[in-house]
Structure 1
Amino acid sequence: MRVRPTRRLGAVLALTLAAAVALSGCVAETPEPTATPTTSTTPAPEASETAPMLRPGENAVANRRFFDQINTEYFEANGRGDGRSIVDNLIENGFEKQDMEVTADTTAIGLATDSIVVSVRIKGECLLGQFAPDNYVSSIEPLLGTGGCLVGKTRAIDW
């Protein structure tokens, strides 16, 4: 015996299909799976920057990182220190004494100065390092018309 579809059955199927389509918009979407981070056994690449080093023949910008490293290490060990040991430390690390200037450690009446400034002439520029009781700072400045880096009377570097 064969069952014939009736109009009623067709209507029920149409309503069921319409309800399924309408309700499909109400169903929560399944979230996309997120990638789980994995650990790598490959070592991380080393920093592309090389360690600071003296770069003879290059300009002040190329030598500033090394100048700052040397002076920062000195400051951390000695605080403000004194002009002679600051200059000696730079010489020990490859800077040329004849290219340096340093301010006095004491005032005309024998009091300690607020800071000591050391300079190194490099290719028409000046690396300046200032040692104060609580910090060290540096800058690069143009060479003065006098051919030096520091204004005023500086301490003789004749040792």
Structure 2
Amino acid sequence: MARHTRTSARAAWVTAIVLGAAALTLTGCTGTAASPATTPASPAPSGQSATPSASASAIAELVPDGTAAENLPVFTRVTQSVWAGSHRAEGRAYIDALVGVGFDKKAMQVTEDTSTVGNPAESIQFSVLWKDEQCLVGQVGPATGSPVTRVLPVLGDGRCLLGKTRPIDW
């Protein structure tokens, strides 16, 4: 069991490193410190819904024919909203909320809410594969601080998240 825990922890760290490297790569390509593909999310006080940033308010709903970058604001708004609620540590809450605004559940991945020994996960990642071209990726949890959302490239295996993810079978 200890070996499995180390493997799961290693997969989570590899995911975090890849997310960070991809974000740096995207930032480096644009020549600016903040690119449209990078939207930090801000938590709201308990009991209140999150207030979307100016870029998040630009798109109030899903743009089915749009790009991943065009849908990042709604992805971020949904992430902020769930983070501000009482189910912030539950991956299913993010998936259900994203489905609720029109994202395709079949294109999603989510990591476990708990470690193999039953402790709360230090971070939860969730993603939406957008048109088989790019990934909308979110990360939340105590190790993350404020929620983070990004548009990242699809991995070589056609998925968005590295390592083991949980089945979305609800």
TM range (shorter): 0.5 to 0.7
Comparing both chains, which one has the higher relative contact order based on Cα–Cα distances under 8 Å and sequence gaps of 6 or more?
2
Report the aligned-residue RMSD: 1.8
Residue 78 of structure 1, CA deviation: 2.9
- Aligned partner of 1:114: which letter? E
If the length of structure 1 is used for normalisation, what is the TM-score? Answer: 0.65
Residue 70 of structure 1, CA deviation: 1.0
Gaps of at least 5 residues in structure 2 are 1-53
Residue 97 of structure 1, CA deviation: 0.4
Aligned partners of 1:131 and 1:86: how far apart in 2? 10
Q: Which runs of 4+ in 1 moved over 2 A?
A: 49-52, 78-81
Change beyond 3 A, Cα 1:55–1:142: same
Equivalent pairs, count: 112
Match of 2:149 in 1: 138
Aligned partners of 1:156 and 1:142: how far apart in 2? 22
Gaps of at least 5 residues in structure 1 are 1-46
Match of 1:13 in 2: none
Aligned partners of 2:121 and 2:113: how far apart in 1? 6
Match of 2:26 in 1: none
Report the structure, 1 or 2, having the larger helix content. Answer: 2
Residue 80 of structure 1, CA deviation: 3.0
Match of 1:81 in 2: 89
**Contact 1:115/1:130 (8 A) holds in 2:** yes
CA offsets per residue over residues 86-129 of structure 1, 9 Å max, x none? 11111111111001000001111111110111100112100001
> Which one of the candidate residues 75, 98, 116 is aligned to 1:108?
116
Among the aligned pairs, what percent are the same residue? 39
**Contact 1:126/1:140 (8 A) holds in 2:** yes
The question of 1:128 aligning with 2:137 is answered yes
Match of 2:66 in 1: 58
